Chain A
């Protein structure tokens, strides 16, 4: 049973007078514990797909099932609750609350849910160890480096043990070394916590951490890779991406 399933989803936008097909009948499945990367050139529809999968937006047609619930039939409030309990988000620009400490930022989803954060002390400890911020827990975002902020964001996304973790260009705003550390962290969350992770990126190095890589172009899935362990994946991904970009041009 897949934890996430998208069936024939399409999304159209109006851009002035024109209609743009951002997604065109996409079918997509993710099993529990999988690490999936979605790649594609700018405008291929990868961010749109991520928004739809996370219940941030609704498809023009088709259906998405997340944790055995169909998102299409849900009210705005219900889909918010589904998001709250089943989805963790990591953004390109971290999006931490500047007024809260690292620890408080991590516990924010629990607090929003009206639960007692003390009950999550154990989980918080594990996550702080995972992201390596045990000694920075009382720091505020402006006292943290970009990489540290993104690690706080990852811990925040994991605090509720969501069914899936969605990351939108998580390394896009970081230097290579820090970006690598972040991807390793996501990989470890998958390995150690059996966390399902979906990453949208156009960085082949980042995508190389995934078990499966899905390529989007013009709103369609054009290819899927299931790399074997130890394969020199990054080079291969880079060549696929440059081929796709040439085709775009």
Chain B
């Protein structure tokens, strides 16, 4: 304990800056891991909780399995009630509307599931059944009466408050038959069913809903409460099969939580990718820690030698270093946990925006904290193990030697063999891909470590070669004293190696971050430009009629209007499984005038592909689907239409990230013919050239805004908003890279200061025989420059490979096919950074060298 206090703590205090910087690696790694885990847990729990509380006692949900998304006759209820095991069959009519007197909005919500204009979600219910299925908590008034035709509504209190609606008010809602009045008879708490649609929700009597929305005798969904209130999984599956058999294939019986599947799936994909990144952060952290400890051991060689001389055993020396590592690990991990919880909050907010779903308070379980703390401490320990053993090997005679003559370890002499093996192995793994996809993915993080270690081990033997190659350049810049200085890097190869390695990691991080973000951002930008084509995005909380396209087109200044319609459709995968994907219907001619598709590869001629799509019974598939199921132009895809499964020709493969890329595009005519859908979700409007988009927007708003309850928003504004979000997400990586560079520069300062101290006598001698102060400064700067050059070039090489690895990780995470871009700006920036940092870091040691007093120096040691 005393030893710890006297030696470990004081040594750490003496090197507090390096201590903190090396802790950064661990802090970031642990924080990354914990925040990702916590965010995902929070999101999953919230979603699960949402579906549980909004579905109440219903354990099964029945919907129509036909593609046209229309409802079904309520006759089915009689059939269902006769099924044994079914206690309640609770019918629902589901409609989205909005308050009629609400000002036209220019706000839309963008999420991974598309853009929506908000609006009020209404459930038409049978009050007697509904109250048995779901527990409504009323905060004012009463629930709906048993009169199924009553013009009544119960709203969520928060919504009512936001819209300044009071109990017993009459509100006007938009219906296909104009605006209609309903009396607010009750307000419900924003809890349980009140959480539906983020609280923008109300219930009205079933027949009122059918009447107002032209849905005579139709319902959209039946919630099933089983007789056994707590059925086992097997019992529930049995009941599901029984119901399904009784009602036939025109209906689909699912579990309520199944509706959250898409979100859950997305979260899982996300977690894989993010885990991969925090793994890399941890590995880089481990490397920085190894480096910091190795450097400390080199610096303290004499000290350890003295301690060994006066009777410290090897084990005591090793435990000294390991205790320091343990301390660093604990502090780093603890700070990492703190930062992680903080980050989790931000990430949860981001996730909540991306999913357009409110999430609860961040859940950080004690077990997650324990696991990430242990990993952080363990990694630090492992990283410090080798330097600790090296410290233990220091012979007591080291203390008696004159400085700077320490002998070189085997790792410096023969490490290059191991280095070549590690480098070769990592590159082979990356290029040859000998393992299955998921294994290779996990190996990715190992490759990172292999690359850094391999490149580091190659430094000692190649230092001489580097020096000879760069000698002419350095001589050109710093003159003959420069070449004298650059030769010094060979004197303590271990120290040079560690410094160069630290710089290498920094530069590699910059390249990696830039390469990855730019590749990712470039494709996303292209897609968003196309996806949000035209100048104005028009949507509404109520259904948009198709003829609106022609009305808008006649507005002065409008060049073209392209309607869009998204809907879910089942398809048969090549393996014969049924899956749900998204169908995006477009008016091919209009769409081509407003924006364009981003075709993947050059297998097809875009013009021909569009012609083929227009001709009908054809689709474009996304790159995600094409990759996952080996689909290509010329093949077919089987979609469930209203007449059953039909084959559609694949006319092209396009980049589309909508709905996680699980999307196909087809023509407007096909949508009407095969799926019987006639309305639009949104309209893309392009203004005539030379006409201001804002003027066109104002014209449309004044002509049709109120009448059709339109939400009009400039596409430029949406794009800016999305790009801003994207840039913010990527900025975090830039900070990480910056920290690595700082750590690297600290290494340069250290190495040079030490070599100046060691060479005090030599510098004095040089000054005595007539070397000027300026020449001494140049000598030190030249030494630093050479280290900068080696670190920069090695960092560039490893960085490019790393960027590729991370890119694989990112594409796996998203399932998107993207093109890798090596950013020229990043390459140049990182090389310049390496050189500039090395020179800046050398200023203080150089000044120290220049101020050496000749007489004192020649007497020194």
Contacts and interface: CB of A to CB of B under 8 A. Distances in A.
Interface stretch (B2-10, B641-649, B699-707): B2-10
Contacts of A81: 311, 313
Nearest to A47: B400
Interface stretch (A20-28, A87-95, A227-235): A87-95
Contacts of A91: 306, 399-400
Contact of A99 (B14, B313, B400): B14
Interface centre among B2, B10, B13 (most CB of A within 10 A): B2
A212 interface: no
A83 B309 contact: yes
A94 B253 CA distance: 85
B814 to A, nearest CB: 51
Nearest to B11: A99
Contacts of B761: none
B307 interface: yes
Interface stretch (A36-44, A109-117, A191-199, A217-225): A109-117
B313 A100 contact: no
B316 interface: yes
Nearest to A111: B2
A77 B313 contact: yes
Interface in A77-127: 77, 80-81, 83-85, 87-89, 91-93, 95, 97-100, 104, 108-109, 111-113, 117
Q: Is the interface of B mostly helix, strand, loop or mixed?
A: helix
A113 B313 CA distance: 10
Interface string A14-56: 0000000000000000000000000000000001000100101
A113 B400 contact: no
Contacts of A100: 6, 10
B310 A156 contact: yes
A134 interface: no
B669 to A, nearest CB: 82
Contacts of A80: 308, 311-314
A56 B396 CA distance: 6
Contact of A111 (B6, B313, B314): B6
B315 to A, nearest CB: 8
A124 B308 CA distance: 22
Contacts of B368: none
B14 A109 contact: no
Interface residues of B, number: 27
B6 A56 contact: no
Nearest to A173: B861
Contact of B311 (A57, A83, A92, A104): A83
Given A47-B400, A91-B306, A91-B400, A97 B311 contact: no
B314 A104 contact: no
Contact of A77 (B6, B10, B303, B314): B314
Contacts of B14: 98-99
B302 interface: yes
A76 interface: yes
A77 B399 CA distance: 18
A121 B315 CA distance: 28
A84 B397 contact: no
Q: How large is the interface on A (under 10, 10 to 19, 20 to 34, 35 or more residues)?
A: 20 to 34
Contacts of A88: 310
A148 interface: no
Contacts of A93: 861
Contacts of A173: 861
Interface string B387-400: 00000000111011
B310 A57 contact: no
Given A57-B397, A95-B302, A104 B310 contact: no
Interface in A120-165: 156-157
Interface in B283-339: 302-303, 306-316
Interface string B692-721: 000000000000000000000000000000
Contacts of A87: 311
Contacts of B397: 51, 56-57
A157 B124 CA distance: 93
Contacts of B396: 56, 83
B856 to A, nearest CB: 12
B399 A97 contact: no
A5 interface: no
Contact of B309 (A77, A89, A92, A97): A89
A92 B316 CA distance: 25
Contact of B2 (A92, A99, A117): A117
A92 B399 CA distance: 10
Interface string A173-202: 100000000000000000000000000000
A237 B309 CA distance: 31
Nearest to B3: A111
A168 B487 CA distance: 33
B400 A112 contact: no
Contacts of B399: 91, 95
Nearest to A86: B311
| Most chain A beta-carbon contacts within 10 A, residue among B11, B309, B316, B861 | B309
Given A80-B314, A112-B3, A117-B2, A99 B13 contact: yes
13 contacts: A56-B395, A83-B309, A83-B310, A83-B311, A88-B310, A97-B306, A99-B7, A99-B10, A99-B11, A112-B312, A113-B311, A168-B400, A173-B861
Interface of B: 2-3, 6-7, 10-11, 13-14, 302-303, 306-316, 395-397, 399-400, 861
Interface of A: 47, 51, 54, 56-57, 76-77, 80-81, 83-85, 87-89, 91-93, 95, 97-100, 104, 108-109, 111-113, 117, 156-157, 168, 173
Interface pairs A-B: 5 shortest CB-CB: A84-B311, A99-B10, A95-B306, A56-B396, A80-B313
